[in-house]
Amino acid sequence: MSMTVLSWAGAAGAWLFVATFLLDGWTRPGYRPVRHAVSALAHGSRGWVQTANFILCGLLITAGAAALTEPLGAGPAIAVGVFGAALVASGVFPMDAMRGYPPGTPDGTPDEVSARHNLHDWAGTAVFGALPVAALMAAFGASDAGWKWYSGLTAAALAAGFLAFGSAWERDSAYAGLVQRATIIVGWVWLGLLFAYAVG
């Protein structure tokens, strides 16, 4: 498979992920996008949509990572590959139902969570850690000055956004979902454009 095809596969994975969770979240009965995390969409009668979103888009991004080696070096490619694989794991190991979703779930955080939920958390840590690392590496690896600045600013925005989401999640903020969505959009849009940039 050519590097061009792999690059566009990676871009499709990044952008499709965002489009899917935005549309599904805004049309899902009982789901509150401003409060609930994207991962919570893996529950309910349409939970298979987000599970497939994690796995399919993660696989596309992981495959696309190979196309980043030549234009940017091995570092960003490895970081993006880890990111994609962690997305797949996020789908394989869904979070526990909590905080009022799906409807009928107690409105709070359980005192104890399942091993599966813990694995989802670890996968999420890899997702949220690998992408700003990839952006920072791309800032140093890109030859174009515009891409250096864009990638560097994206790395900073992602680090700040993921920290803000972590704090909002721990406090069960009414705006935790909104913070997460804003951060994801910044990062995943950049990633899709990075794959397009790799096409040359």
The tokens describing 107, both together, are 């409105």
Cβ-contact 67, 10 below 8 angstroms: yes
* Lowest mean pLDDT, pick from 66-80, 116-130, 148-162: 66-80
**What is the pLDDT, as a whole number, of residue 1?**
63
Which structural domain, as residue segments, surrounds residue 180? 3-199
**What are the pLDDT digits (tens) for 44-76?**
999 999 999 999 999 999 999 999 998 888 999
Residue 200 confidence (pLDDT) above 90: no
**What is the pLDDT, as a whole number, of residue 144?**
83
Question: Would the CA dihedral through 165, 84, 4, 146 be positive or negative?
Answer: positive
User: What's the gap between Cα 27 and its chain centre?
Assistant: 20
Predicted structure pTM score: 0.95
Q: What angle do CA 195, 123, 43 make, to 5 degrees?
A: 100
Q: What is the mean pLDDT of residues 111-117?
A: 96
User: How many structural domains is the chain composed of?
Assistant: 1
**What are the pLDDT digits (tens) for 170-179?**
999 999 999 9
82 vs 58: CA distance, rounded Å = 10
